[in-house]
Structure 1
Amino acid sequence: MMDSIPRQFMAWADRKPDATAFAVKQDGEWKQSTWKQYVEEVRLAARGFMALGLEPGQSVGIMGFNRPQWTMSDLAAMSSQGVPVGVYSSCSAKQTAYILGHAGARLAVVESGNVLDRVLSVRDELPDLKHVIVMDAEETPDGTMSWSALLEMGRSVEEEALEERLSAIRPDDLGTLIYTSGTTGPPKGSMLSHGNLAAATLMGRELLPVEIREDARLLSYLPMAHAAERALTLLGPSAFGVAIYYAESIERMPANLVEVQPDVFLGVPRVWEKIHAGLTAKLAEATGTKARVANWSRDVGLAYHSAVTSGGNPSPALKLKYALASKLLFSRIRAALGLSRAQVLLTGAAPISEEVLRDLASLDLPLREVYGQTEGSGPTTNNKPEATRWGSVGQPFAGVELKIADDDEILMRSDAVFQGYYKDAESTADVLRGGWLHTGDLGYLDEDGYLYVTGRKKEIIITAGGKNISPRNIEEAVKTHALVNEAVVIGDRKPFLSILVCLEPEAELPADEAKAKIWEHVERMNQNLSKVEQVKKIAVLPTVFSVEGGELTPTLKLRRSVIVDKYSREIDAIYG
């Protein structure tokens, strides 16, 4: 019998039945539920799915903001040998129909309101979809049922029937479908087996503290349909018994972070960039003694974390200075952010600049950059606490092999590499070749095995002069300016490179003044670039990129083709 994720999860009902498993904010207070309650409800939901006719191998769509019923639906689907399929709550009706239809979802568990409306608007296009369950409302529209009604149906199925399905799970069985966010075309469904998920979870143990506190907790707020959040909110806690606190909303996340004080916190680069910008602006207001204390503390913080992350042992004098700096500055910063008890701070899902990493380390916020892809079930490399090189994405997780192809593409293999793309043999054959996963990322390994990612093969810009240029590092350098919210390099088949810039919403300068300041920053940046990489012109856009506007994926990655089409007039003006 396989020690599957559902089995690992259910064991916590016996190991610590009365400990907190998850918490939600209700009426201004955090309401906690125990592992015994959590496991019992998942088992009842799994039996409910079976009562609704879910057969092994059939999929269950899940769509909505992070909440216990999302995670329970995922675990219940796997437990009953179904296949959970997360759908971003930001997906349009058309995108929702595509994913649920492509996956052949038999059941859908969705959030009330706009998400439910979108699903119902395309229900006639989904002949396989037999039942819609509303995860967060008792009063539901005709043709749907509430979560409590699902649980009640589960009582009609014997526990022994669920046990048979749990015992029948095999490593090669399909465990989940995770759809890419579609930066270059329609989303593809990555097939992750139960064996893949178990292997990835074991690797992910490296990201948790060496000793996990008895009351360890995480804050769940990133999209559950993404592999990284799913690993952090579902796989990790299921295997290691960590409690999940569900944020009330994206907008309330900063306040919830202060209330929860998690042991581990994962932020996408945009989250850390906002924290960095806020702290930088606040510290810039300091004068006199306060400014001198802040500057001294930052020098100490950078020296201390440079020593620790390189595997060295800070000198006794540096340790004393660090303790004093912690008392004077760092402890206040961490408390204000909600990171006082955080032992691990992670960044991933997109690139982050080395400057931001160094600045945050100087403020006692040392980030561990993690790199991976859905096709590898998440983990590929990470910077370890005492083996970090800023600018790299770290060394491979245990069990991961890497090599660099002749064209600089990063190749990887491990037990966590996916089975392929669902119903897409051609794309599968393109990325799984010779026993290696071809990631589509470009990079190199240094002499100590640290991986550096330099760009994406599909994002390479070929100028009119035939030069191949990766836009990633240029964009990250531009984004270090406090006025810049987002930056996109333009130059494919063009005589020179230019950049489209979005200003920070808080920027109070007129566009012309902001453009002049950013251009000064670009000119300094150009001094460190080769001639063909240098940016010749910039254009400040009158808007901010967003998921709703189509320029960003749900995980805040650039949709370059959409941006080029949408802002073609501005681009034409640059090269006109």
Structure 2
Amino acid sequence: MDKLPDNLREVRPELFVGVPRVWEKIQAKMQQVGAQNSFLKKKIAAWARKQGLAGGYAEQAGKPKPLLYGLADKLVFSKVKEKLGLDRCRIQVTTAAPISKDTLEFFLSLGIPLFEVYGMSECTGPATLSLPKRYRTAKAGACLPGAELKIAEDGEVCMRGRHVFKGYLKNEEATAAAIDADGWLHSGDIGEIDAQGMLQITDRKKDLIITAGGENIAPQLIEGMLKSIPVVSQAVVVGDRKKFLAALLTLDAERFAEFAAEAGSPAKAPEEAASCPVFKDWLDRKVAEVNKGLARVQTIKKVTIIPHDFTVEGGELTPTMKVKRKSIREKYAGEIEAFYA
């Protein structure tokens, strides 16, 4: 990851595929650098990003981009792409894990739309595809030509076609659980298909939280909103069979100093922030702002700061940077129980 910026500038790819964590890291670094710009540069960047976001959504709707989009591109977008090494890139893909709308709109506002691809190993990789002429922000794309896609009665995403595997080697039980009698592969993901045929994944079926009140809560949506707090690196929502939801949060070490100063906290690193009441109070206020955009049953009542980020080596992330919920619940069982003590 440390060498990725240099590699991108050296290669200047025409197509670049990154897991969400890669795009989030690029976003965080850009925001860190942008925070140090002069007042005038910040104002120009904010104006340009407003044009970029409007232009991106206009493009998706088949409408003309704002009149001043070209000027914003010349002044800001082209320079940003050059510094990132994406000046020749025509297709920027995000796949393998959920990505927050905040990150998608950040890049869209800079004239760099991210095209989501959805699939799994059992369907030879992709099941849906987003392309420059057909994409929607926060949607995972349309079904591949020659394949089929449907939403089961319980909301599960199912796919059928020649790209679906025949089964698991020497494991008939697992195969029968994955592929039904009609040949539909059951993904384990919950989703919706809109009128334009674009798929939106809302959560993993097995990750749904059922509260003590019987409410079914999709944690990924809430986690994406929590990660829109700039200092938050990772978020894991808990609360299965509990009276309320809570969250474990990790902090972005590279941007921590900036937000510690904003909070008026004496903490010098995320490790110190975990036990700093001033920083915790500031973070609670940020979470309260996120809660305003959620239904009452989705709101986060308590948070705990984990003093270090989640890593593959620590057992909290998969090699493709997906959160390993079970491992996290086991590793931080004490912190989770403290929410409800």
TM-score by length of 2: 0.90
- Correspondence 1:257 to 2:8: yes
Spell out, residue by residue over 1:33-78, the C-alpha distance to the aligned partner (whole angstroms, 9 max, x if none).
xxxxxxxxxxxxxxxxxxxxxxxxxxxxxxxxxxxxxxxxxxxxxx
CA distance in 1, matches of 2:56, 2:326: 40
Q: How far off its partner does 1:262 sit?
A: 0.5
CA–CA distance in 1 between the matches of 2:22 and 2:282?
Answer: 24
CA shift for structure 1 position 429: 0.4
Q: What is residue 297 of structure 2 aligned with on the other side?
A: 532
Aligned equivalents of 1:309, 1:259: Cα separation in 2: 31
Is 1:483–1:518's contact at 8 Å kept on the other side of the alignment?
no
CA contact 1:310–1:387 (8 Å) conserved in 2 = no
| Aligned with residue 562 of structure 1, among 314, 327, 331 | 327
Q: CA RMSD in A?
A: 1.6
Which residue pairs with 1:391 in the alignment?
A: 138
- CA shift digits 1:414-467 (9 cap, x unpaired): 211111112211111001002101010001111221111110111111222222
Aligned to 2:235: 487
1:408 paired to 2:155: yes
Q: What is the CA-CA distance between 1:475 and the residue it aligns to?
A: 0.6
* C-alpha contact 1:487 1:499 (8 A) present in aligned 2: yes
**Distance in 1 of aligned mates of 2:91 and 2:34:** 24
TM (norm. structure 1) is 0.54
1:549 lines up with 2:314 in the alignment: yes
Instruction: Give the whole-Å Cα distance in 2 for the aligned partners of 1:288 and 1:547.
Output: 39
Residue 208 of structure 2: aligned partner: 460
CA distance 1:281–1:505, change in 2 (3 Å): closer
Once the two structures are superposed, the pairs formed by residues 193-232 of structure 1 within 5 Å of their partners are: none
SS of 2:112's equivalent? coil
The Cα of 1:283 is off from its aligned counterpart by: 2.5
2:104 alignment partner in structure 1: 357
Distance in 2 of aligned mates of 1:329 and 1:533:
38
Q: Secondary structure at the match of 1:392?
A: coil
Check conservation: 2:91, 2:131, Cα contact below 8 A.
no
Maintained 8 Å contact 1:308/1:385: no
Corresponding residue to 1:475 among 223, 226, 235: 223
The question of 1:339 aligning with 2:107 is answered no
Q: How does 1:32-181 map to 2 (within 5 A)?
A: none
Q: Deviations over 1:155-209 (max 9, x none)?
A: xxxxxxxxxxxxxxxxxxxxxxxxxxxxxxxxxxxxxxxxxxxxxxxxxxxxxxx
**Structure 1 residue 514 displacement after superposition:** 3.8
1:400 and 1:313, CA in 2 relative to 1: closer, same or farther beyond 3 A? farther
2:54 to 296, 300, 303: 303
- Could you report, residue by residue, the CA deviation over 1:87-127 in whole angstroms, capped at 9, with x for unpaired residues? xxxxxxxxxxxxxxxxxxxxxxxxxxxxxxxxxxxxxxxxx
Counterpart Cα distance in 2 of 1:443 and 1:374: 18
Q: Secondary structure at the match of 1:258?
A: helix
Residue matched to 1:325:
72
Deviation at 1:367, TM superposition (A): 0.8
1:281 aligned onto 2:32: yes
Distance 1:514 1:419, change over 3 A: farther
Q: What letter matches 2:204 in structure 1?
A: R
Looking at structure 2, the residues matched to 529 and 295 of structure 1 have their Cα atoms a distance apart, in angstroms, of 26
Instruction: Give distance in 2, aligned partners of 1:535 and 1:314.
Output: 38
Contiguous gaps of at least 5 residues in structure 2:
261-266, 268-272
2:127 counterpart letter in structure 1: T
Q: Distance in 2 between matches of 1:514 and 1:560?
A: 26
CA distance in 2, matches of 1:252, 1:411: 38
Instruction: Give the structure 1 partner of residue 251 of structure 2.
Output: 503
How far 1:383 sits from its partner (Å)?
2.4
Worse overlay, 351-360 or 509-518: 509-518
Distance 1:260 1:557 in 2: 27
Whole-angstrom CA distance in 1 between matches of 2:4 and 2:43:
32
Q: Which residue of 2 is the match for residue 266 of structure 1?
A: 17
Task: Answer yes or no: is 1:447 the counterpart of 2:181.
Answer: no
Matched, 1:432 2:209: no
Distance in 2, matches of 1:558 and 1:289, equals 39
In the alignment, is residue 516 of structure 1 matched against residue 281 of structure 2? Answer: yes
Look up the SS of the partner of 1:259 in the other structure: helix
Q: 1:372 corresponds to which residue? A: 119
| Structure 1 residue 360 displacement after superposition | 1.0
Secondary structure in 1 aligned to 2:126? Answer: coil
Alpha-carbon distance, 1:483 to partner: 0.9
Q: Please say if residues 258 and 338 of structure 1, whose CA atoms lie closer than 8 Å, have aligned partners that are also in contact.
A: yes
- Aligned to 1:416, the other structure's residue is in SS state coil
Shift of the 435–485 alpha-carbon distance from structure 1 to 2, 3 Å rule, reads: same
Counterparts of 1:514 and 1:397, CA distance in 2: 47
- Structure showing greater Rg: 1
* Structure 1, unpaired ranges of 5+: 1-249
User: Displacement of 1:531 after TM fit?
Assistant: 1.8
1:504 & 1:393 partners in 2: Cα distance? 27
Q: Percent of counterpart pairs with the same letter?
A: 45
- Number of aligned positions between the proteins: 323
User: Hey, what's the Cα distance between the residues in 2 that align with 1:452 and 1:396?
Assistant: 11
CA contact (8 A) 2:20 2:99 kept: yes
Alpha-carbon separation, structure 1, partners of 2:282 and 2:129: 35
State the one-letter code of the partner of 1:478.
Answer: L
Shift of residue 355, structure 1, vs aligned partner: 2.0
Aligned counterparts of 1:260 and 1:360: Cα–Cα separation in 2: 20
Does the CA-based 8 Å contact 2:233-2:250 persist in structure 1? yes
